Amino acid sequence: MTSVYNSTVIGKILLTPDLMVLRIRTDEPRDEFIAGQYTTIGLLSNEERSANSVMTIESVKENVLIKRPYSIASAKHEVSEFEFYISQVKSGQLTPRLFNLTQGRRMWIDNHIHGIFNLNDVPENSNIVMIATGTGLAPYLSFLRSHINDHKDSKLAIIHGAGYPWDLGYYSELKFIQQAFSNFYYFPTLLKADVSWTGLTGYIEKHLQANILQEKAGIEINPDKTHFFLCGNPKMIESVTNYLSNYDYTKHGHDQSGSLHVEEY
């Protein structure tokens, strides 16, 4: 039987035992995609699970392709090499198998790339605020890597919520972009940091309420001037969506345009 696998792992960077950047080269190039979209990746159920995972609640049959969607972190023009930012769900089906991969191993990636979480409907002069928890940062890496030069006349900000300092993947890249582009602002905020962390702490909502965007970046919370993107934890999405509804933000969707863009993991 020929294998369903159609790609090769070309890089795996473990940031913590449960957080990684995975780079995959496809045998055949994909079509150019839109920054912020996701694709589906998979491994067969007979692949081994990582040593630090736990038993799943349900078992899977032999030789079944386990597939899940992941946001693409790489730039839109990179159509043969894809980067993903993945956290391990220890009791999950796919992620423990992904965490057991090593460079050179084979795996599967869908031919199709999907999603409407993108910058296409953001007016050129609109500010863009990108809010993420954990690996919800991935689509913003693709936004910045693909489009930072297209938004020189507006302001861009990332607010990234995580647990510990070591959970802040892409910290150096985002700090570097902040140094290089005066219109880009990076606000990492940690829930579990100790005193050695001198940056922001606590929930993202606290900083929005304290007016961090206006005060530190001159960004107004106003749907005519600023588009918001929310990606990651459903609880963060719900509470930030509620907060933004006080400012008359409406959700962007297939059949309506709005200044609030949401991707739930």
Binds ligand FAD (CB under 6 A): choice among 94, 144, 156, 212? 94
Binds ligand FAD (CB under 6 A): choice among 7, 39, 93, 146? 93
Binds ligand FAD (CB under 6 A): choice among 71, 127, 133, 259? 71
DSSP for 50-105, written as a single string:
PTT----SS---TT-EEEEEEE--S-TT--SEEEEEEE--TT-SSHHHHHT--TT-
Give whichever of 19 and 208 is closer to ligand FAD, judged by the CB atom.
19
Whether residue 136 contacts residue 232, with contact meaning beta carbons closer than 8 Å, is answered with yes
Give whichever of 14 and 210 is closer to ligand FAD, judged by the CB atom.
14
Q: Can you tell me the distance from the alpha carbon of 228 to that of 129, in angstroms, rounded to the nearest whole number? A: 5
Side chain identity, residue 9: V
How far does Cα 19 stand from its chain's mean position?
12
Nearest-approach distance from CB 132 to ligand FAD, in angstroms: 10
DSSP three-state, residue 205: helix
- Check binding of 135 to ligand FAD (CB under 6 A): yes
Binds ligand FAD (CB under 6 A): choice among 95, 127, 146, 259? 95
Binds ligand FAD (CB under 6 A): choice among 85, 143, 184, 185? 85
Nearest-approach distance from CB 189 to ligand FAD, in angstroms: 19
Give whichever of 51 and 57 is closer to ligand FAD, judged by the CB atom.
57
Give whichever of 93 and 154 is closer to ligand FAD, judged by the CB atom.
93
DSSP for 91-139, written as a single string:
T-SSHHHHHT--TT-EEEEEEEEE-S-SSTTS-TT-EEEEEEEGGGGHH
- Determine the size of the site formed for ligand FAD (CB under 6 A): 21
Whether residue 175 contacts residue 186, with contact meaning beta carbons closer than 8 Å, is answered with yes
Q: What is the x/- site pattern for ligand FAD, positions 16-55, by CB under 6 A?
A: ----------------------x-----------------
CA distances from 118 to 69, 82, 147, 171, 198 (A): 16, 17, 11, 22, 32
Element (H, E) at 206: helix 204-209
Nearest-approach distance from CB 248 to ligand FAD, in angstroms: 27
DSSP three-state, residue 240: helix
Give whichever of 68 and 106 is closer to ligand FAD, judged by the CB atom.
68
Residues interacting with ligand FAD, by CB under 6 A? 38, 57-58, 68-71, 84-87, 89, 91-95, 135, 138, 263, 265
